[in-house]
Amino acid sequence: MLLVEQGLGDLTRSAYGSDLSLFGRWLATQGQSLLTAGEADVRDYLAHRQRQSTQGKTGFAARSQARHITAARRFYRWLVRENRRKDDPTRLLETPRLGRPLPKTLSPRDAERLLLTPDDSPMGLRDRAMLELMYASGLRVSELVNLPLPRLNITRGVVLILGKGGRERLVPMGEPAQAALQRYLDGARAGFAEGAGSSDAVFLSNRGEAMTRQNFWHRIKLHAKAAGIAATLSPHTLRHAFATHLLENGADLRSVQSLLGHADLSTTQIYTHVAKARLKALHAKHHPRK
């Protein structure tokens, strides 16, 4: 189907599939289906979701609306191409305009405090290696937790990433990440591998299985709290910090795009705004004629 053919990431495909399922279930209550719905049905559904949001039953902000419309539009365009429908009921729908939020990031000082927080226990060695690699290479959380051992080359200081849309990229890591990874592999991973799981993932849980996004995010929050970091973190905070700190220190945008695995340069450009915002805040705080 189209959602797969377009090379979308797993999480995006899952979100679109969930949106279509919700739409399909609502259509069934109206005596319709995804295959028979018309433009009025699509608009009625969006209005229904908006009413629910107004009543506090569910969230339906502009970004959620836009995703629902995009999922439906992709689905119906695919049906038309496959000759399963003659018309596209989403053709005249307008996608809500979205303001692009700045990614949440960390100052270099806070990033350093976070990286130094894990202790020398097996779990601490694992967490330190994960944090160091994410900050050193700008990996997505999904790329980090799903990284298999054969794609990690500590000696050469590189990691081969299979990113969104099946695109591969070779990303370097610094010496601190190399050292943290070596300590984890030498002194902790074998113990985790004794669990019931049989994963070849670099980073393992206590059960011997690959770490999940949720587990890793829980660990980050624990370490951030221990480090006294008050900023609200997101799952990709260290990835955002990686990009922002590179740009603040003179890296060119195209290189950062390549390291992050962005297909479109405009996606990377958001980090230039983050860097400028941070510089303006520093100027306002420290300049004597602020």
Q: How far is residue 67's CA from residue 61's CA, in Å, rounded to a whole number? A: 10
* Domain identity same for 64 and 121: no
Q: Which pLDDT value is given to residue 211?
A: 92
* Domain identity same for 274 and 172: yes
Q: Tell me, yes or no, if 140 is annotated catalytic.
A: yes
* Domain identity same for 125 and 29: no
Q: Which pLDDT value is given to residue 143?
A: 93
> End of a domain among 65, 81, 97?
81
Query: Among 236, 242, 106, 109, which residue's Cα sits nearest to residue 171?
Result: 242
**Candidates 85, 128, 223, 262; catalytic one:** 262
Q: Tell me, yes or no, if 164 is annotated catalytic.
A: yes
Instruction: Judge whether 44 lies within some domain.
Output: yes
The DSSP-derived string for 130-150 is: HHHHHHHH---HHHHHT-BGG
Q: Which pLDDT value is given to residue 4?
A: 45
* Domain identity same for 51 and 151: no
Domain containing residue 186: CATH number: 1.10.443.10
Domain range for residue 28?
A: 2-81
Residues of the chain with pLDDT under 50: 4, 283, 286-287
> End of a domain among 81, 116, 142?
81
Instruction: Judge whether 90 lies within some domain.
Output: no
- Distances from the Cα of 56 to the Cα of 17, 67, 106, angstroms: 24, 20, 33
Domain containing residue 74: CATH number: 1.10.150
Q: Which pLDDT value is given to residue 286?
A: 47
Domain count, the chain: 2
Q: Which residue has the tokens 């450009």?
A: 269
Q: Tell me, yes or no, if 135 is annotated catalytic.
A: no
Q: How far is residue 105's CA from residue 231's CA, in Å, rounded to a whole number? A: 9
Q: Tell me, yes or no, if 262 is annotated catalytic.
A: yes
Instruction: Judge whether 13 lies within some domain.
Output: yes
Q: Tell me, yes or no, if 218 is annotated catalytic.
A: no
* Domain identity same for 27 and 170: no
Instruction: Judge whether 98 lies within some domain.
Output: no
* Domain identity same for 179 and 275: yes
**Candidates 164, 213, 221, 278; catalytic one:** 164
Q: Tell me, yes or no, if 73 is annotated catalytic.
A: no
**Candidates 85, 236, 240, 245; catalytic one:** 236
* Domain identity same for 260 and 123: yes
* Domain identity same for 56 and 123: no
Query: pTM value?
Result: 0.62
Q: Which pLDDT value is given to residue 97?
A: 64
Instruction: Judge whether 137 lies within some domain.
Output: yes
* Domain identity same for 120 and 201: yes
Q: Using an 8 Å Cβ cutoff, are 132 and 117 in contact?
A: no
